[in-house]
A and B are shown apart, each in its own frame.
Chain A
Amino acid sequence: MASLTDRYVHAVTEQLPAAQRADIARELRGTIEDTLTARAAVEPELSPLEVERRTLIQLGPPARLADSYRGEGRALIGPRYYPAWKRTLTTVISVVSPLVAVVMLVLGILGEEPLADIIGGVLSGLVGSALQIAFWVTLGFAIAERTQSGSDGLEALDTHDDDWDPDDLPVPQARQVTWGDAFFTLLANAFLLAVLLLPWRIGGSIAGQEVGQVFTDTAYSLRWVLVVSVAVSLLAGIIVLARGQWSWSTAIVNAAGNLLFAAPIVCLASREDLIAWDTFPTRWVTDSGVIEVNRPATMWAVVAVVVVICLWDAIDGLWKAARR
């Protein structure tokens, strides 16, 4: 178990530029030990732990001391998260934006649109998705920056509080979530969000007849709920990526996002208002008879897959938060 001093020094230095960390950590640790020795001699009635606690309280919350070492206010994304923020941003944009562009290109070609419209669609897909990603990733990291890494709550936005308890100091730990896992979650959510935000719907109409729309008008109009739910999960995913740990607040937010995603789909399915069966062929006449899609079975299979994925994702987060 790391001592309070270890945890304090770690909490301060992790917020400083990497180049200064080791030196400041060494000096700060020495200074705290000097203070402990002097204080123990003056107040022999106190237990060593109590001396340590009082000394740390006097030094103030780690975030404030770190600010003071940096000699500046808190940046939107500080040196602790800057490398991770940059890495996340470039990775997600370089994967998702081209995917969105390809989707736009395919939709444009299938829709037999004029070349200028197709190019416009591809460009707006590229730029629009990059802007969306930049916004969400930056927001997620800014929240992670403003909430203490070990504290359990998004409400801990103000770190400049005099009433702080050294027992709340986070214990330095290895990443609970690997970069690969976190990136995969992020990419999946970002791609889903980009697709949901496409300005037009799947399919089209030929001679007034709607074709290949897959989802009903009601389902389509509810896609904004899905946009919000994916955005919520995405935000939780970015905070987890930045911190490398699940916390109760991120796990609960993530679970809420999943619930918000699954609920409208289950609700629409139970009202038989999810899939627009009449916009694509479900029945074929062959030599050996008629082949017909089993509509309820197909629909519920789709719903089951969605629910299982959402449930798995929600429980995974909560479980990791509990195990931390």
Chain B
Amino acid sequence: MGKDELLAIHTQELRRGTVTLATLASLEQPRYGYALLEHLAAEGIAVEGNTLYPLLRRLEKQGLLTSEWNTDESRPRKFYRLTSEGRSILRSLTREWHSLSHAIKTLSRG
């Protein structure tokens, strides 16, 4: 296995858990699936549709997101946004993220 391939695997592993955090962080304002995908991509979080769309459903089922169909436009779209519980989880996860980031900084300083 080449170095690039290994790097790709480990990068993917590292990013996997951050998709949930990035999704929650993006949904303070309501967004529909594809718009969220584009928004995340624009901010440098590349995520596949087949990961993101089922994830939105799972987070909704867990009560962290709520959804609403918007049929005003020609194409009906399902908009997701944070619930208060989702907001509280987002705060905790963000704190966790910062403490991890801090720990990594300290560790790599040796």
Total residue contacts A-B, CB cutoff 8 A: 51
Residues on B with beta carbons closer than 8 Å to the beta carbon of A31: 32-34, 49, 53
Question: Taking CB as reference atom, which chain B residue is nearest A35?
Answer: B34
Of the candidates A23, A33, A58, the one whose C-beta lies within 8 Å of that of B49 is: A58
Report, nearest first, the 9 A-B pairs whose CB atoms are least far apart. A34-B34, A68-B54, A31-B33, A69-B54, A27-B78, A60-B50, A59-B50, A65-B50, A31-B34
Q: Which residues on B sit within 8 Å (CB–CB) of A28?
A: 53
Would you call A17 an interface residue if the criterion is a C-beta within 8 Å of the partner chain's C-beta atoms? no
Report if A41 contacts B (CB, 8 A).
no
Considering the complex, give the chain A residue whose CB is closest to the CB of B78: A27
Other than the given A68-B50, A68-B54, 13 more pairs (CB < 8 A) read A23-B78, A30-B76, A30-B77, A31-B32, A31-B53, A34-B33, A34-B34, A34-B35, A34-B75, A38-B34, A38-B38, A58-B49, A71-B58
Q: A residues engaging B (CB < 8 A)?
A: 23-24, 26-28, 30-31, 33-35, 38, 58-60, 64-65, 68-69, 71
Q: Enumerate chain A residues within 8 angstroms of B77, measured Cβ to Cβ.
A: 30, 34
Interface residues of B in 24-71 (CB under 8 A from A): 32-35, 38, 48-51, 53-54, 57-58, 69
Kindly state the separation between the CA atoms of A28 and B54 in the bound complex, as whole angstroms: 10
- Secondary structure at the B interface, as helix, strand, loop or mixed, is helix
Q: Considering the chains assembled together, what is the distance between the CA atoms of A115 and B96 in angstroms?
A: 74
Interface of A is mostly: helix
Of A58, A59, A69, the contact of B57 (CB 8 Å cutoff): A69
Q: How far is the CA of A96 from the CA of B61 in the complex (A)?
A: 42
CB neighbours (8 Å) of B69 from chain A are: 26
Q: Which residues of A contact B51 (CB under 8 A)?
A: 68
Interface size of B in residues (CB-CB distance below 8 Å): 18
Q: Kindly provide the distance from the CB of A78 to the nearest chain B CB, expressed in whole angstroms.
A: 16
| Contact indicator B53/A27 (Cβ below 8 Å) | yes
Look across to chain B and name the residue whose beta carbon is closest to the beta carbon of A68: B54
Bound complex: CA of A14 vs CA of B34, how far in Å? 23
With a CB–CB cut-off of 8 A, which chain B residues contact A34?
32-35, 75, 77
CA distance A69 to B61 in the complex (A): 11
Q: What residues of chain B lie closer than 8 Å to A64, measured between beta carbons?
A: 50
Known: A34-B34, A38-B34, A65-B54. A58 touches B76 (CB 8 A): no
- Measured in the bound complex, the distance between the Cα atoms of B51 and A35 in whole Å is 15
CB-based contact B75/A33 at 8 Å: yes
**Bound complex: CA A68 to CA B58 (Å):** 10
Expressed in whole angstroms, the minimum distance between the Cβ of B34 and any Cβ of chain A is 4
A59 engages B49 (CB within 8 Å): yes
With a cutoff of 8 Å between Cβ atoms, the chain B residues found around residue A27 in the complex are 33, 53, 78
Q: What is the chain A residue whose CB lies nearest that of B55?
A: A68
CA distance A65 to B52 in the complex (A): 11
Partner of A71, one of B35, B50, B54: B54
Cβ contacts A to B, 23 pairs, < 8 Å: A23-B78, A26-B69, A26-B76, A28-B53, A30-B75, A30-B76, A30-B78, A31-B32, A31-B34, A31-B53, A33-B75, A34-B34, A34-B35, A38-B34, A38-B38, A58-B50, A59-B50, A64-B50, A68-B51, A69-B53, A69-B54, A71-B54, A71-B58
